[in-house]
């Protein structure tokens, strides 16, 4: 059975880089879960070429794209003749599959088209604004019915039948909600520990033992929070066993 081709989603670059890359197994497409909750496996980007590369042996070519929100690398492996007429400074539309390489989201290019009409840039900007507003409505509907429907499969069916919302959009919104719920306790723990450090700092810092006894956190949970605060530079250790806020 032929696998259904995934729709190329019009997007700016920033949501792809700010999102979470989700690798899948088998023939299931990899995707980026954007901060808004959109699942994007194939992207359609209109941007300016700021860098072009063609390999000497003709096996691949690359374009670095800038759309004003961020930059992203696009690599072409199959038909690099598509890239030959493109020059740095050209405005192009690229369609490609999202991939991650060395912890960096990029595109495997499928198609690149040079844009001649400058009005298309303004049109795309307006399209993206309208698209984002519509997706906000989608999220609101999914969240509303999520509390009334028993499971995700039933929710997807209801959303598609009643509101023509795709199952992928429903999954993305729900997945994004769950990710936010998991991160919230971590943020709350960090806020709690920072507050306790300030309250119990006598001038030379707060004792680790005091944090352990007053925070209500398990030792491993407290260690995770303290390590994060040290790594991000919010706190430092004036001496062993003491934590002080900068």
List the pLDDT tens digit at each of the 246 positions of the chain. 344 578 899 999 999 998 889 988 888 889 999 988 899 999 999 999 999 999 988 889 999 999 999 999 999 997 889 999 999 999 999 999 999 988 889 999 999 999 999 899 999 999 999 998 999 999 999 988 888 887 889 999 999 999 999 999 999 998 887 776 555 556 678 888 888 998 889 888 999 888 888 887 778 778 888 988 888 888 899 888 899 988
Could you give the CA distance from residue 222 to residue 226 in angstroms, rounded to a whole number? 6
What CATH number matches the domain at 8-116, 3.30.70.360, 2.40.50.140, 2.160.10.10, 2.60.40.290? 2.40.50.140
Could you give the CA distance from residue 127 to residue 125 in angstroms, rounded to a whole number? 5
- In this prediction, residue 241 carries a pLDDT of 87
Q: How far apart, in Å, are the Cα atoms of 148 and each of 3, 142, 168, 173, 180?
A: 33, 10, 19, 16, 20
- In this prediction, residue 2 carries a pLDDT of 45
Neighbour tally for 32: CB within 10 Å = 24
The highest-level CATH class for domain 180-245 is mainly alpha
pTM over 0.85, yes/no: no
Grouping H, G, I as helix, E, B as strand and the rest as coil, residue 164 is coil
Question: How many whole angstroms from its chain centre is CA 130?
Answer: 20
Q: Are strands 61-66 and 42-54 parallel, antiparallel or unpaired?
A: antiparallel
CB-count burial class (<10 Å; 0-12, 13-18, 19+) for 142:
buried
Neighbour tally for 97: CB within 10 Å = 18
- In this prediction, residue 46 carries a pLDDT of 98
């Amino acid at each position: 059975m032929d696998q259904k081709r995934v729709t190329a989603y019009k997007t700016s670059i920033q949501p792809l880089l700010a999102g979470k890359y989700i690798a899948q197994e088998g023939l299931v497409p990899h995707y980026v879960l954007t901060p808004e909750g959109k699942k994007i496996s194939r992207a359609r980007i209109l941007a300016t070429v700021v860098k072009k590369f063609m390999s000497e042996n003709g096996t691949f070519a690359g374009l670095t794209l800038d759309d004003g929100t961020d930059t992203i690398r696009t690599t072409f492996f199959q038909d690099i003749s598509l890239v030959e007429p493109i020059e740095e400074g050209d405005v192009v539309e690229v369609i490609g599959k999202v991939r991650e390489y060395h912890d960096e989201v990029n595109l495997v290019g499928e198609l690149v088209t040079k844009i001649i009409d400058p009005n298309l840039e303004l049109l795309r900007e307006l399209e993206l604004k309208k698209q984002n507003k519509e997706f906000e409505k989608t999220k609101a509907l999914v969240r509303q019915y999520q509390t009334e429907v028993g499971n995700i499969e039933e929710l997807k069916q209801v959303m598609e039948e009643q509101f023509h919302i795709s199952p992928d959009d429903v999954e993305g919104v729900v997945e994004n909600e769950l990710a936010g719920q998991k991160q919230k306790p971590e943020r709350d723990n960090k806020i709690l520990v920072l507050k306790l450090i300030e309250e119990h700092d006598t001038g030379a810092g707060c004792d680790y033992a005091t944090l352990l006894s007053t925070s209500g956190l398990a030792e491993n949970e407290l260690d995770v929070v303290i390590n994060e605060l040290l790594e991000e530079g919010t706190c430092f250790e004036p001496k062993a066993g003491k934590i002080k806020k900068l």
